[in-house]
Chain A
Amino acid sequence: MNILFAFLIIATLSLILGLGLAFAAKKFAVETDERADEILAVLPGANCGACGFPGCSGYANALSAGTAENGLCPPGGVKVRELVASILGVASDGGGAGEKMVAFVHCRGNNELTKRDFVYEGIEDCNAAHLIHQGDVACKYGCLHLGSCIKVCPTQAISRDDLGNVVVDPELCIGCLKCTLVCPTQVIKMIPYRGSHAIACNSLDSGGVVRKICSVGCIGCKICERKYPESGCVVPNFLATIDYSREMAQIGEAAEACPTKCIVKAR
């Protein structure tokens, strides 16, 4: 008999509580956009923050709510932009991330090749070094080689090579721009992934100044631009740049002819 009472009490109690929960679930239901979950599944999931939102879920929520522009995800590129557009039911009309861009350190001036103004013995951080006379490297546009970008890279795409230069692996780079934001000299810039070559110099100093302080810097001699017009090289000031929108047929020859060899293979 006792056992029956216990059974009945528990059964009634659980019925009341169960109904209460069912009511609360209906009454206080939080409306979620199913599309946000779908978008989150499509996004790369690197949580790199390049879109400007707190992680991939933040961006997915903003997209489904219509407060964010499509195509802000550099790691996802065109593929993700189109997938997101199909989920949202809108046209994918370019804008934002187009072709895959990767970071490139526009400097090959390591400790031996570039002059130092003084001995820096402070904190091992590029921004800390930059506080003191814009760093110990005589060239104020170049890489400080203290590796702040290596620390922030979410995919370990940045490393030091055998010569002590900081290099980005284009295969691992997801184009999140974190390194370009942390770099105090802005020597890291984005180049198209398909680009075979890049200029390994960022110095706007005149040729004479560059020659004095660095043996691998661009001196603005314009050989690449004049002799190899099909190379895609343009020299608007004392620094050559590559116009990646053009055909770069002669870039290999131009790299050979460069007197300071600062046109280097990007991959």
Chain B
Amino acid sequence: MEFLATFRKGGVHPKDKKELANRQPIEPFTAVSELIVPLSQHTGSPAKPLKAKGDVVVAGEKIGESTSFISANIHSPVNGTISDIKKITLANSVISDAFVITVDSENPFGKWSLQERKEYTGAELLNLVKEMGIVGAGGAAFPTHVKLSIPRGKKVNDLVINGVECEPYLTSDHRLMLERGEEILEGILYVAKIVNPQKITIGIENNKRDAIDNLRQIIEEKGHPIEIVPLKVKYPQGDEKQLLKAIIKREVPSGKLPLDVGAVVVNIGTAFAIWEAVALNKPFIERVVTLSGESIKDKKNLLVPIGTKVEDLLKLTACEETDNYIAGGPMMGFAFWDTTTPITKGTSGILALAPSKKGRVTTPCISCGRCITACPMGLQPTKLYRLIDHGQYEVAMANHLMDCKECGCCAYVCPANLPLVHAMKLGKRVGRK
């Protein structure tokens, strides 16, 4: 039996439910009529609108400009006209201005062809990443150019590519690795050119054997200097900090970034977007979205233009009546109720689960300590919960509340069914004020 790397502390084993959608090849989604493209799809300050109501836009045209270092450009995914600019609430409760784009029905999409190959320098590539509005495709949507801008004096030893996809149900990265392996590997080499690492590693959870074999074969054929590390199936293996513990065996200190231990972590979806940006000169205007869950009959992996409304996607999948929609995975994703919510750069999946049971029953904490065992960050969720419940936000902050990354392991194992993650989010919000 092969030795599988993993992180030691904490973690849980939810049913991965990947078999629901992992055999569905990626299909392009074309039935678009109206898009809602938010200006704040990323972590950081929202983009500034460059177009006004009534303007005609073409696919790939920049319509929102980044306003600060931690921000990202927004591009029009389609040819069409801007019919409105309105305020919307995204699935993750961010309030953002959004372009409503009426799609040109005769010629909706742009044509993207392979550009002539040329040798880029690292700085040129970094600029391209910034210009094309690329953000982390894993979920948090952190602007990639910020991550890849290595401050003077820092050195990157390891470039770690995150192909873990540890969230149950989601299969978009899995399908990408199977179908677009060559492109992803080239994208990774572009990233390597920017950050100059000594070693490139791809971490993939062991439940994606076919993807591991596929990428290994391509690497062997092409002779890429990339190593693939199969990882134990355990949630949250795909979190940046856990991934680094598993692969480079180093722990990112509290409040620090991976760069402080000489590592840069980039998602598979992001690597693919970077390949598209360099090879096709195509901005980040489309992404692969998994449509899965018990209420969806035809599970799919779709290549969807950013800004597509969820209801348009659900029409395609014979979705049954439910009130249990989640954007992202079931562990860290966001429940939403309004199906006109658009797909953003960070949406890796849309889940329609079985209708929820009404009436949440919680019982008092019995101090069993299961959440402490499950917490991968070594926190004491039970203590933090009590502090937040009593309004002692400052004490909770002193107990490293900010290290919590809301992975949901504690709430998953809690026998009292306490809303632990919700409390952590509340504590962070009030405590930061």
- Could you list which residues of chain A lie within 8 angstroms of chain B, going by C-beta atoms? 117-119, 121-123, 125, 127-128, 131-134, 151
Contact = CB atoms under 8 A, between A and B. Distances in A.
Nearest to B423: A123
A133 B89 contact: yes
Given A117-B337, A117-B338, A133-B93, A123 B426 contact: yes
A115 to B, nearest CB: 12
13 contacts: A117-B337, A121-B359, A122-B422, A123-B422, A125-B426, A127-B426, A127-B429, A128-B423, A132-B93, A132-B335, A133-B336, A134-B93, A134-B95
Contact of B422 (A119, A131, A133, A134): A131
Contacts of B337: 117-118, 133
A162 B124 CA distance: 67
A205 to B, nearest CB: 11
B182 interface: no
Interface string B396-432: 0000000000000000000000010011011001100
A219 B360 CA distance: 36
Most buried by B among A118, A119, A123: A123
Contacts of B430: 127
A117 B340 CA distance: 13
B358 interface: yes
A30 to B, nearest CB: 29
A122 B336 CA distance: 14
Contacts of B95: 134
Contacts of A119: 358
A131 B360 contact: no
Interface in B336-393: 336-338, 358-360, 391
B324 to A, nearest CB: 11
B224 to A, nearest CB: 43
A147 to B, nearest CB: 13
B84 to A, nearest CB: 14
Interface in B312-342: 323, 335-338
Given A118-B337, A133-B93, A134-B95, A123 B429 contact: no
A131 B335 contact: no
Q: Which of B95, B338, B430 has the most A CB atoms < 10 Å from its CB? A: B430
Contacts of A121: 358-360
A132 B327 CA distance: 13
Nearest to A128: B426
A184 to B, nearest CB: 9
A133 B325 CA distance: 14
Contacts of B360: 121
Given A117-B338, A127-B426, A122 B93 contact: no
Contact of B93 (A125, A131, A151): A131
A250 to B, nearest CB: 36
B336 A128 contact: no
A154 to B, nearest CB: 13
A133 B89 CA distance: 7
A125 B389 CA distance: 9
A129 to B, nearest CB: 9
A121 B93 CA distance: 16
Contacts of A118: 323, 337
Nearest to B359: A121
Most B-side CB within 10 Å, residue of A121, A128, A133, A151 = A133
A122 B419 contact: yes
B429 to A, nearest CB: 6
A261 B419 CA distance: 39
A119 B337 CA distance: 10
A19 to B, nearest CB: 47
Given A121-B359, A121-B360, A122-B419, A131 B338 contact: no
A215 to B, nearest CB: 22
A206 B274 CA distance: 43
B206 to A, nearest CB: 35
A144 to B, nearest CB: 13
Contacts of B391: 151
A123 B360 CA distance: 11
A131 B336 contact: no
Contacts of A133: 89, 93, 336-338
B426 to A, nearest CB: 4
A76 B422 CA distance: 39
B286 to A, nearest CB: 26
A262 to B, nearest CB: 23
Contacts of A151: 391
Contacts of A134: 89, 93, 95
B359 A128 contact: no
Contacts of B425: 128, 131
B259 to A, nearest CB: 30
A151 B429 CA distance: 18
A166 to B, nearest CB: 18
A128 B337 CA distance: 17
Contacts of B323: 118
A134 B88 CA distance: 11
B382 to A, nearest CB: 15
A120 to B, nearest CB: 10
Nearest to B334: A132
Contacts of B423: 123, 128
Contacts of A131: 93, 422, 425-426, 429
A135 B336 CA distance: 12
Given A121-B359, A151-B391, 8 more contacts: A117-B337, A118-B337, A119-B358, A121-B360, A123-B423, A127-B430, A131-B429, A133-B336
B338 A123 contact: no
Contacts of B338: 117, 133
Nearest to B90: A133
Nearest to B428: A131
Contacts of B419: 122-123
A133 B422 CA distance: 13
